[in-house]
Amino acid sequence: MNSKEPIFYLNGKFVPKSKAIVSVYDLGWVRGYGVFDYIITYDGGKPFMMMNHLNRLKRSAELIGLKLPFTQERLQQIIVRVLKKNRNGKEKSIRIVVTGGVSENTLTVPKKPTLAILVNDRKPYPIDFYKKGIKVIIYDYNRESPQAKSLNYIHGVKAMNLAAREDAYEAIYVNKKADRVYEATTSNLFLVKNKKVVTPNGDTLPGITRELIIKISSKFFPTQVREVKIKELYDANELFITASNKEIMPVVKVDNKVIGKGIPGEVTKKIMSEFRKFVDSGNW
């Protein structure tokens, strides 16, 4: 075992990464039946808005009919313990995965689900992503049970592979027939038009960072949560995506259409600045 190997939590035990093994009959493996959530740390290893994430994990599980093996408070205690076992001075990413558990017939949900908590060193994105912005593509799809953070990422993987071929970083889910914009594969989406901020409503994941940005933005700009048309995406003055690991990331190109001036806009930069102030305050 590598002495620097991360320590994970798996079904009641703390084990090194190489020993974190689940059955091939686990419903997360054979059926993709499960949910997850993702937390990052700031300020020397403090989980950011942890209870918000754990509450969402519970809602996600309820939406797919999966019972969590622990309360949010117990999960919080386990996360604190596993973080202590991975102290090395670096900020962390925490992935909590709950599956249906081991099912011999690969369909019936057993009484005991699988719980895994994976902790790794957090890897920041290139600074140019924030200074210069990124390119995204659109992808005609919306997730099944979109308000649940489920393990079903078939189209997410397909979309990201298509994006990579187009030198894009993310893919935005849209419904061309219904003329609606939803979210990105692993991010929420915000548009800015005439200094008004809009994020799509309805069939999207209730992002923790998204909810925070709505609150921050509302203090400085008119901010709406509403249906968004595809044309609005291309006609926006500014775009940005949000997620725990990405924070606020400017978007300067959609497909082959340059957004605004092709650089991160002033509204986006203001929101990025206010987000940083909130993180640095430690009042979360």
In Å, how far from its chain's centre is CA 92?
15
CB 175 within 8 A of CB 117: no
pLDDT digits (tens, 9 = 90+) for 209-261: 999 999 999 999 999 999 999 999 999 999 999 999 999 999 999 999 999 99
Report d(CA 75, CA 214) in Å as an integer.
27
pLDDT digits (tens, 9 = 90+) for 172-194: 999 999 999 999 999 999 999 99
Please give the sequence-ordered ranges of beta strands (E in DSSP) within 73-168, or none if there are none: 92-99, 114-121, 134-140
pLDDT of residue 3: 58
Report d(CA 242, CA 101) in Å as an integer.
31
- Residue 149 shares a structural domain with residue 246: yes
| Total residues belonging to the chain | 284
- Residue 133 shares a structural domain with residue 269: yes
Could you say which residues of the chain have pLDDT below 70?
1-3
Number of domains forming the structure of the chain: 2
- Residue 106 shares a structural domain with residue 171: no
Give me the domain span that covers residue 214. 127-281
Q: For residue 1, tell me if it sits in a domain.
A: no
Q: For residue 206, tell me if it sits in a domain.
A: yes
pLDDT of residue 45: 95
CATH assignment of the domain containing 158: 3.20.10.10
Please give the torsion angle defined by the CA atoms of residues 69, 75, 79 and 82, in that order, rounded to the nearest 10 degrees.
-40
pLDDT of residue 180: 97
- 141's CB contacts (< 8 A; 6+ apart) are 155, 159, 173, 174, 175
CB 40 within 8 A of CB 90: no
pLDDT of residue 4: 85
